[in-house]
Structure 1
Amino acid sequence: MANPHLEYHLQLLQHLRTILVALGDAEQVPEESHALFLERFDELLTLLPQNPLESQYLGQDLICQVITRYPQIAHLVPRDLLWFFGGDCLHYMPDEELELYQTLEERRYEAEQNEEPFDWNLEKQLLSAPDQGERH
């Protein structure tokens, strides 16, 4: 069974897949190469829960390909996926965003070490707030 952090990212990947399918249905991309791309995307969805570390490179490759192959939907790629897969995906994130995600990751690690619950989205909202996430 996948942990909540992995489950969250699998849901984001499923959402992105839905967008990719809609793109193909709208006939906005070459059908044959798009079908092959979706097959690789499905492979990631299958492999990621089984072996998250081994799937990192495939995830990086596919997310970067989404941005370069389908620029019309690049803005719809969840930023969390860029951070999750890291590597070349990080080139698509500005420094301020990288700092935000680094802080988030540190907080998640700290909560994990203390066996405390951690809500990724809530923490991200707190950090993105005008007061820059200062805890009271």
Structure 2
Amino acid sequence: MASAHLDHHLALLAHLRGILVALGEAEQILDSSHSLFLERFDELVSDLPRDPEASLYLGQELISQIFHRYPQIAHLVPRDLLWFFGGDCLHFMPDEEIELFQRLDERRFEAQQNDEPFDWNQEKQLLALPPESSKH
């Protein structure tokens, strides 16, 4: 996996962890397993750079658990993480969004093959534009 691509998702995981910590600090979690969940989340963040492929399953499991354990913050889970981890996480994405991320990944791989720079966020914004607005 390209470093910039991985770094982008690690930053999103850090953001999501901050939300989870704030949720616990606000005492909105009555479940005592919240700290254990955060420990597993931290394990994912530390293992992901070392072994991205092996970490995908833990990522799928934890992201999916957020939707079930913490439905009040489900809308705050970055959509990029759902696509990045794939698997069961894709159940939380509508078909149109999956198609957008498929096109985005195709563009990323094409840029990689051609040794061209690729800005994930910029490309995502361009792909999200309605067809008539991308012409200037």
Using the size of structure 2 for normalisation, the TM-score is 0.95
In the alignment, structure 1 residue 115 sits paired with structure 2 residue 115: yes
Does the CA-based 8 Å contact 1:126-1:133 persist in structure 2?
A: no
* Distance (whole Å) between structure 1 residues aligned to residue 4 and residue 101 of structure 2: 17
Q: Report the equivalent of 2:52.
A: 52
What does residue range 9-48 of structure 1 map to in structure 2 within 5 Å? 9-30=9-30, 32-48=32-48
Q: Which residues of structure 1 form unaligned runs of 5+? A: none
Cα offset, 1:31, TM superposition: 5.1
Larger helix fraction of residues:
2
Distance in 1 between residues matched to 2:120 and 2:73, nearest whole Å: 24
Output the aligned Cα RMSD. 1.6
- Report Cα offsets for 1:50-107 as digits up to 9, x if no partner: 0000000000000000111000000000000000000000000000000000000000
Asked if structure 2 preserves the Cα contact closer than 8 Å seen for 1:60 and 1:87, the reply is: yes
Question: For 1:132 and 1:13, how far apart are their aligned partners in 2?
Answer: 34
CA distance in 2, matches of 1:20, 1:78: 13
Gaps in structure 2 of 5+ consecutive residues: none
- Does 2:76 match 1:76? yes
**What CA distance in whole angstroms lies between the structure 2 residues aligned with 1:64 and 1:53?**
18
Q: Supply the AA of the counterpart residue of 1:85.
A: F
The Cα of 1:30 is off from its aligned counterpart by 2.5
* Cα drift, residue 33 of structure 1: 0.5
For residue 128 of structure 1, what is the amino acid of its counterpart?
A
Once superposed, which parts of structure 1, at least 4 consecutive aligned residues long, lie more than 2 Å away? 132-136
Amino acid at match of 2:102: Q
Query: Which shows bigger deviation, 24-33 or 111-120?
Result: 24-33
- Alpha-carbon spacing, 1:135–1:101, altered in 2? closer, same or farther (3 Å): farther
Query: Following the alignment from structure 1 to structure 2, what is the Cα–Cα distance between the partners of residues 74 and 65?
Result: 10
Letter in 2 for 1:33: S
Indicate the percent of aligned positions where both proteins have the same amino acid.
69
Question: Quick one: distance in 2 between partners of 1:115 and 1:107?
Answer: 12
Q: Secondary structure at the match of 1:47?
A: helix
